[in-house]
């Protein structure tokens, strides 16, 4: 039987609550800053941006300093506390319960978080994200994957309990995006020094 969203939510919350302070102390890798800057340049001044799976709010705080109107959400209350400490409006919310009016954001930023959603539930999550985007709004998705399709905890994870990951091929990831009605604005892989591979995807919600 395939893994389901509701089964992974509790363990992920526990894992990230316990590691929030540690993760907040990590410096962003330079390639992530490049990805973030490229997405920023696609957005109009003062755009309203929702960051989902925002972690401790490092990126949200940066987007806010850039003049965007930012709201952050995360599953982990400890992560949300770090976001608020940075002066970012933040809420404890999970991807399937984004409690915002339809079409209320110009953009959504989702870095290294949709890899925690089982494939079975990714269509519902993408539909929930699409619902809060205005017509023509942009979604950035950044995940690790590309070589194979696999789901489950990773060996030697430093988080407790070990986190659930879904690794997707490029075709799979792009298929989920287009099946959800998004137009692909950009897709490119990033080869990382540690041997991992990152998939960078910028999508546009239908309509104008
Ligand atoms: C690897 S961290 C990435 C944090 C941040 N985006 C970054 O790149 O630094 C993944 C984050 O996604 C959050 N997360 C995982 N599943 C989630 C869900 N279903 N709903 C909301 N947040 C979730 C976790 O709590 C965690 O803070």
CATH number of the structural domain spanning residue 43: 3.40.50.150
Token pair recorded at residue 91: 């809420």
Domain count, the chain: 1
Pocket test for ligand 1, best of 55, 118, 162 (most atoms within 8 A of CB): 55
> Which residues form the domain of 146?
5-204
Q: Which atom of ligand 1 is nearest to the CA of 94?
A: 20
List pLDDT tens digits, range 30-44: 999 999 999 999 999
Q: How many Å apart are CA 13 and CA 15, to the nearest integer?
A: 5
Taking the mean position of all CA atoms in its chain, how far away is CA 199?
12
Distance from the CA of 112 to the center of ligand 1, in angstroms?
7
Residues with CB under 6 A from ligand 1: 9, 12, 16, 53-55, 58, 74-76, 79, 94-95, 111-113, 116
Distance from the CA of 55 to the center of ligand 1, in angstroms?
5
Q: Whose CA is nearest to atom 14 of ligand 1?
A: 53
Q: Which atom of ligand 1 is nearest to the CA of 26?
A: 9
Taking Cα atoms as reference points, which of 74, 109, 107, 111 lies closest to residue 198? Answer: 111
Q: Whose CA is nearest to atom 11 of ligand 1?
A: 53
- Tens of pLDDT along the chain (208 residues) come to 689 999 999 999 999 999 999 999 999 999 999 999 999 999 999 999 999 999 999 999 999 999 999 999 999 999 999 999 999 999 999 999 999 999 999 999 999 999 999 999 999 999 999 999 999 999 999 999 988 899 999 888 999 999 999 999 999 999 999 999 999 999 999 999 888 899 999 999 999 7
């Amino acid at each position: 039987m395939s893994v389901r969203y509701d089964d992974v939510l509790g363990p992920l919350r526990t894992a990230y609550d316990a590691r929030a302070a540690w993760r907040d102390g990590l410096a962003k890798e330079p390639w992530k800053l490049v990805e973030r800057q490229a997405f920023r340049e696609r957005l109009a001044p003062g755009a309203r941006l929702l960051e989902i799976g925002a972690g401790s709010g490092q990126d949200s705080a940066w987007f806010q300093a850039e003049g965007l109107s930012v709201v952050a959400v995360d599953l982990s209350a400890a992560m949300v506390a770090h976001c608020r400490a940075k002066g970012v409006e933040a809420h404890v919310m999970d991807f399937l319960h984004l409690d915002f009016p339809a079409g209320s954001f110009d953009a959504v930023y989702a870095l290294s978080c949709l890899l925690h959603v089982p494939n079975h539930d990714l269509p519902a999550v993408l539909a929930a994200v699409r619902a809060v985007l205005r017509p023509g709004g942009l979604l950035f998705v950044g995940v690790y994957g590309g070589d194979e399709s696999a789901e489950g905890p990773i060996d030697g994870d430093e988080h407790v309990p070990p986190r659930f990951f879904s690794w997707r091929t490029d075709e799979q990831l792009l298929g989920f995006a287009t099946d959800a009605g998004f137009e692909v604005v950009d897709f490119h892989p990033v080869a990382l020094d540690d041997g991992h591979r990152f998939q960078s995807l910028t999508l546009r919600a239908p309509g104008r």
